[in-house]
A and B are shown apart, each in its own frame.
Chain A
Amino acid sequence: MKTKALLSTASLALAIAAFSAGAQAQIAIGHLEDRSGGTADVGTPFGQAVADTFAWVNKNGGVGGKQLNVDTNDYGYQVPRAIALYKKWSAPDNKVAAIMGWGTADTEALTGFLAQDKIPDMSGSYAAALSDPEGASGKAKPAPYNFFYGPTYSDALRAMLMWAAEDWKAKGKPGKPKYVHMGANHPYPNAPKAAGEALATELGFEVLPPLVFALSPGDYSSQCLSLKSSGANYAYLGNTPQSNVSVLKACKAANVDVQFLGNVWGMDENGAKAAGDAADGVVFPLRTAVGWGGDAPGMKTVMEISKMSDPTGKVYRPVHYVAAVCSALYMKEALDWAAKNGGATGENVAKGFYQKKDWVPSGMEGVCNPSTWTEKDHRGTMKVDLYRTKVSGATDGDINDLMGKGTIKLEKVKSVELPRKPEWFGW
């Protein structure tokens, strides 16, 4: 009798252990999103896409038979809150396999810790300082566990400046064109400042002193008057749409004749809708080959993923949503590789990023641009696709209609393939 009781207790204990092991057989992922801070306008669709993609991955069997346990947190674009969350994610008892990060300030603050704890971070920041894994360029600290999908901010700006120089010549205007950097005094808009101004000088631009405007919407008439009085021809908008739109509108009202160049986060369909005809003609880079509803085989996958949070399928998803689906799927495939090659630990996941050349996540053909990460260079791509917003009418009404009717259009301007110059590495 006693033996039987002992046996049953032991088997029960085993069953409980097996059950709890089963419950723990998940891959933990940390996810930082900004839905309430300075970049909430682009952070919301991006964060939603990351959450949707991982939910979709879980619905389709997870990674290596394990479900992803995604801890999504709105950190309000504040570094201290990101650090506090990182402490939670890097604690030895519940260490995450990977992080989907967001801002430049917080990602740069975390870089050293990520390397120390060996946790890969796919950030929403494309600051060039995060692209140098070994610190070989001498211009940035080593960032071996930082990844991002898309051209660096600096490379995107370089491509736009090269286009601007051609544009100036094509228009046949006399004299030197004048270039000005605009944005908040914050690591994100500041990231490509030096690189942009250096290339602008090289290309024969006259570089004007930078103009500062906050990340939040506001009255930026004085900045527009400075633009006008200084006679700037090309202006870089380093912030996100919500504040850039304020500048575009104020400058339209002040009749400023300047070609705006937007950061990759600087403009989108919602921004164009909000700014109306003031947004007409803004040039900015697109990270994906097509936008929402575009003609590509991979768009079907994006639509399916979007249904995770919008079963009706009627919500319009801006360019940042599509780019985030790509980012999250690269992470998913790196996790896949890690799960098959020794388990989904941070170190293996990082190695997973180095396995393919001209990599497009499966099911995303024609949407995500081919990317290649190596141990020595985390610039996933050197190709920058430049688009121009075209607004041809009143932009009140549903964004689906506006895009469908072509009231707002994103027109391709040029594809620039930048050389991998060593002197452009890491800044």
Chain B
Amino acid sequence: MAGPSLIPAGDFRTSYAADTTIFPATTSRNFAIVGVLLLCLLPQFLSGYWLSILIQIGIFSIAALGLNILVGFTGQISIGHAAFFLLGAFTSAYISNNAPIPVFFAIPLAGVVTALVGLIFGIPAARLKGLYLVIATLAAQYILLDFFSRAEWFSGGSVPASANPFSIFGYTLRGDKQYFYVVLAYVLASYILVTNLMRTRDGRALVAIRDHYLSAEIMGINLTKYRTLSFGLAAFFAGIAGALYAHYQLVVSQEGFGIERSILFLAMIIIGGTGSIMGTLMGTAFVVLLPESMEWISLHLKGGAIDQALSLNNNLTFLREIAIGLIIIVFLMFEPDGLAHRWRQIKAYWKLYPFSY
């Protein structure tokens, strides 16, 4: 047993600052710094394929982080997250195409615009709970998507919009190798920001609302303000991620960002662990890698004994979709606390090895 609340004997803190520190020991901080430095070296060694996977993990993990603030920390729910992601993508493309603003500034600007729209859609959230809130966010998904398919001045209507490559003061970044650093910088900034947010008064207010909204209100927490704020924050990170995605793909299309993508975002945080910041990253990596590994498995099954015995042929591609659904169910049943919980157990096991009991 090694939960986060169980502190080993002899390890005690004498100040609040020490109690809320991000890295409990110098070694863990050094490990994190070395890890980031190693990540910086990766583009030199990785193939284009793995680089593109890492970039995807980075981008989607920022969006999932936003959703985790809303779902994992505030206890709200949203199945319209993909629409905010797309809004960020279109906004950043629109700003950088139509205004003399370099992409470097268009990305955070897109985050702010998305956050404002998120605040508007967050208003009903202040009054609704549970299933009713689900339906309200579903409406956001459809309203925004319908807007994108009709607003030709903004998103190009049904024709995909084009986005400029990442640039700053006349210097343009081209190719995945350079873009990797942009995404890495945003991932680090977002994760540090959210980790710190959860150490503040506002962050603790969100957690209090999640744990028991009535008690929180009695303690003087403004429910309306914090619930709406959490929607705005979730939308902000979705917008940032969407903008990063737009300038990575250079083309923004509304395809593939329907409700199924919103549910995939939810799957990321459920698999990673709701209410866990590191878990968000793990869950995103899992969800991004799953179809790729399924693709690899189906490629190797092709023409093999199993394929012939079951005469799968072209249905192998559908096997992939089935497996993804299956794994999510398995996770919900056997690992409800997510990958973050499993990771903590593994860490504790090795810390106490060989005397764990």
- Asked if A and B are interacting partners, one says yes
A-to-B contact residues, CB < 8 Å: 35-36, 74, 77-81, 83-84, 87-88, 91, 93, 105, 108-109, 112-113, 185-187, 190
Looking at B49, B162, B253, B317, which has the most chain A CB atoms within 10 Å of its CB? B253
Within 295-334 of B, Cβ neighbours of A (below 8 Å) are at 314, 317-318
Quick check: A105 and B162 within 8 Å, CB to CB? no
Quick check: B52 and A105 within 8 Å, CB to CB? no
Quick check: A79 and B251 within 8 Å, CB to CB? yes
Quick check: A84 and B158 within 8 Å, CB to CB? no
Q: With A109-B160, A187-B158, A187-B159 given, is the CB distance from A80 to B317 under 8 Å?
A: no
For residue B245, which residue of chain A has the nearest CB? A80
Contacts of B251 in A (CB 8 A): 79, 83, 109
Q: With A35-B317, A187-B158 given, is the CB distance from A105 to B253 under 8 Å?
A: yes
For residue B149, which residue of chain A has the nearest CB? A185
- Complex CA–CA separation, A140 to B158 (angstroms): 16
Q: Smallest distance from the beta carbon of B143 to chain A beta carbons, Å? A: 16
The answer, yes or no, to whether B11 is at the interface (CB within 8 Å) is no
Between A and B, 7 residue pairs with Cβ closer than 8 Å are A79-B255, A87-B48, A87-B52, A108-B160, A185-B157, A187-B158, A187-B160
Within 259-318 of B, Cβ neighbours of A (below 8 Å) are at 314, 317-318
The answer, yes or no, to whether B3 is at the interface (CB within 8 Å) is no
For residue A188, which residue of chain B has the nearest CB? B158
For residue A48, which residue of chain B has the nearest CB? B314
The answer, yes or no, to whether B8 is at the interface (CB within 8 Å) is no
- Complex CA–CA separation, A376 to B76 (angstroms): 58
Contacts of B149 in A (CB 8 A): 185
**Which of A74, A93, A105 lies in contact with B159, CB distance below 8 A?**
A105
Quick check: A91 and B158 within 8 Å, CB to CB? no
Quick check: A78 and B255 within 8 Å, CB to CB? yes
The answer, yes or no, to whether B249 is at the interface (CB within 8 Å) is yes
Contacts of B250 in A (CB 8 A): 83, 113
Contacts of B158 in A (CB 8 A): 105, 185-187, 190
Q: Smallest distance from the beta carbon of B346 to chain A beta carbons, Å? A: 33
Quick check: A109 and B48 within 8 Å, CB to CB? no
Contacts of A80 in B (CB 8 A): 249, 253, 255-256
For residue A105, which residue of chain B has the nearest CB? B160
Contacts of A87 in B (CB 8 A): 48, 52, 176
Q: With A105-B160, A185-B158 given, is the CB distance from A88 to B255 under 8 Å?
A: no
- Complex CA–CA separation, A235 to B48 (angstroms): 48
Q: How many B residues touch A, CB cutoff 8 Å?
A: 20
Q: With A35-B317, A36-B317, A74-B317 given, is the CB distance from A109 to B52 under 8 Å?
A: no
Q: Smallest distance from the beta carbon of B45 to chain A beta carbons, Å? A: 14
For residue B251, which residue of chain A has the nearest CB? A109
Contacts of A81 in B (CB 8 A): 256
Q: With A105-B160, A108-B160, A187-B159 given, is the CB distance from A78 to B52 under 8 Å?
A: no
Contacts of B162 in A (CB 8 A): 109, 112
Contacts of A35 in B (CB 8 A): 314, 317
Q: Smallest distance from the beta carbon of B133 to chain A beta carbons, Å? A: 28
Quick check: B256 and A79 within 8 Å, CB to CB? yes
Q: Which secondary structure characterizes the binding site on chain A? A: helix
For residue A74, which residue of chain B has the nearest CB? B317
Quick check: B253 and A79 within 8 Å, CB to CB? yes
- Complex CA–CA separation, A93 to B46 (angstroms): 13
Contacts of B48 in A (CB 8 A): 87-88, 91, 93
Contacts of B318 in A (CB 8 A): 36
Q: Smallest distance from the beta carbon of B319 to chain A beta carbons, Å? A: 12
- Nearest first, the 7 A-B pairs at minimum CB distance are A79-B253, A109-B251, A109-B160, A78-B255, A91-B48, A78-B256, A80-B256
- Complex CA–CA separation, A83 to B247 (angstroms): 12
**Which of B49, B159, B249 lies in contact with A83, CB distance below 8 A?**
B249
Contacts of A112 in B (CB 8 A): 162
- Complex CA–CA separation, A79 to B86 (angstroms): 14
Quick check: A105 and B255 within 8 Å, CB to CB? yes
- Complex CA–CA separation, A77 to B150 (angstroms): 20
Q: Smallest distance from the beta carbon of B243 to chain A beta carbons, Å? A: 15
For residue B48, which residue of chain A has the nearest CB? A91
- Complex CA–CA separation, A79 to B89 (angstroms): 14
- Complex CA–CA separation, A185 to B251 (angstroms): 19
- Complex CA–CA separation, A105 to B251 (angstroms): 11
Interface contacts beyond A88-B49, A105-B255: sample of 12 additional A-B pairs, CB < 8 Å, sorted by A: A35-B314, A36-B317, A78-B253, A78-B255, A88-B48, A91-B48, A105-B158, A108-B159, A112-B162, A185-B149, A186-B158, A190-B159
Contacts of A185 in B (CB 8 A): 149-150, 157-158
- Complex CA–CA separation, A93 to B177 (angstroms): 14
Looking at A79, A81, A113, A190, which has the most chain B CB atoms within 10 Å of its CB? A79
- Complex CA–CA separation, A270 to B162 (angstroms): 37
- Complex CA–CA separation, A109 to B246 (angstroms): 13
- Complex CA–CA separation, A83 to B251 (angstroms): 8
- Complex CA–CA separation, A84 to B253 (angstroms): 13
Contacts of B159 in A (CB 8 A): 105, 108, 187, 190
Q: Smallest distance from the beta carbon of B59 to chain A beta carbons, Å? A: 12
Contacts of A186 in B (CB 8 A): 158
Contacts of B157 in A (CB 8 A): 185
Looking at B149, B157, B176, B255, which has the most chain A CB atoms within 10 Å of its CB? B255
Q: Smallest distance from the beta carbon of B56 to chain A beta carbons, Å? A: 9
Looking at A35, A81, A105, which has the most chain B CB atoms within 10 Å of its CB? A105
For residue A186, which residue of chain B has the nearest CB? B158
- Complex CA–CA separation, A83 to B252 (angstroms): 10
Contacts of A93 in B (CB 8 A): 48
Q: Smallest distance from the beta carbon of B311 to chain A beta carbons, Å? A: 15
Q: Smallest distance from the beta carbon of B48 to chain A beta carbons, Å? A: 5
Quick check: A109 and B253 within 8 Å, CB to CB? yes
Quick check: A79 and B49 within 8 Å, CB to CB? no
Q: Smallest distance from the beta carbon of A130 to chain B beta carbons, Å? A: 12
Q: Smallest distance from the beta carbon of B26 to chain A beta carbons, Å? A: 41
For residue A190, which residue of chain B has the nearest CB? B158
For residue B56, which residue of chain A has the nearest CB? A84
For residue A35, which residue of chain B has the nearest CB? B314
- Complex CA–CA separation, A79 to B318 (angstroms): 19
Interface string of B148-170 (1 = CB under 8 A from A): 01100000011110100000000
- Complex CA–CA separation, A410 to B28 (angstroms): 74
Looking at A74, A81, A186, which has the most chain B CB atoms within 10 Å of its CB? A186
Within 121-160 of B, Cβ neighbours of A (below 8 Å) are at 149-150, 157-160
Contacts of B52 in A (CB 8 A): 84, 87-88
